[in-house]
Amino acid sequence: MLTESQLTQFNEDGYYLAKGLFDEEETDLLRHAARHDPAISEKAKDREDGSGGKSRITLWNEADDSILSMYSRSERIVSAAEQILGGEVYHWHSKMMQKEPFVGGAWVWHQDYGYWYNDTCLFPLLLSCYIAVDKATKANGCLQVLKGSHLLGRIDHMKVGDQTGADPVRCVEAEKVMPLVHCEMDPGDALFFHCNLLHKSEQNTSPDPRWALICCYNAKRNSPFGKSGHPTYSPLQRVPDAAIKETGLKYLGADLEFLE
């Protein structure tokens, strides 16, 4: 649960960094599952950044009984998501971001709702929780955000190099008036951010990996009205926080659908 001051900070800034949301044992389980769950490597897709770098991403819609799903179903994240979005939420998707040493690619300025709008969600009532698997630093391409940029509303998105990004002209203007924040994080830290927050990351030029599990949520009242690459509303079966340690190293189910 977020305090009133933390919730106010999220509404003003478009994000909130929860330091140490997961303890050392929980973080070790997350890191081991990220590196050793066969589905993470087998279902990963490369994303070229147009400048010689590439990042890998593994994305799935369903939350099952695996250890990775225990994070997306955990009480401490789901309750905070419902506070922020003002009502019941459901699992939109989860993804493992895999930015490897020296080759991990950049991501241009974008808003998640820039993509999810096309999934026929009427309102920007979605958010993400970025959980650091590895230490995130400027050198290994940590997330960068424009503080307060969620208040701009949805910006048109277009092809920018080999990626889809927010209108570069508007991004340049936004950078002139909004603080740029490098979200450096320790393993187990979690960053909650609004779907209209402008964010990007640079290439990983360091010898250190920068992996993250990102759990995404949609408000029940914002279920897609048309064709979508992500699920319509179904109840999210949240679990007590203790379920992470109790589940142990149970890998993602073989019957899950992984997205391109």
Q: In three state form, how does the secondary structure of 54-101 look?
A: EEEEEEECCCCCCHHHHHHCEHHHHHHHHHHHCCCEEEEEEEEEEECC
The pTM (predicted TM-score) of the whole model is: 0.96
Render the burial of 122-134: b for 16+ CB within 10 Å, e for the rest: eebbbbbbbbbbb
State the architecture of 14-233 in CATH terms: Sandwich (2.60)
Domain residue ranges in the chain: 14-233
Q: How far apart are CA 232 and CA 226, in angstroms?
A: 9
Query: pLDDT tens per residue, the chain (260 residues)?
Result: 899 999 999 999 999 999 999 999 999 999 999 999 999 999 999 888 777 788 899 999 999 999 999 999 999 999 999 999 999 999 999 999 999 999 888 989 999 999 999 999 999 999 999 999 999 999 999 999 999 999 999 999 998 766 789 999 999 999 999 999 999 999 999 999 999 999 999 999 999 999 999 999 999 999 999 999 999 999 999 999 999 999 999 999 988 989 86
Asked if 218 contacts 186 with a C-beta cutoff of 8 angstroms, the reply is no
Per DSSP, which regions of the chain are E strands? 15-18, 45-48, 54-60, 89-99, 107-110, 126-132, 143-146, 157-160, 163-166, 180-182, 190-194, 199-201, 210-219
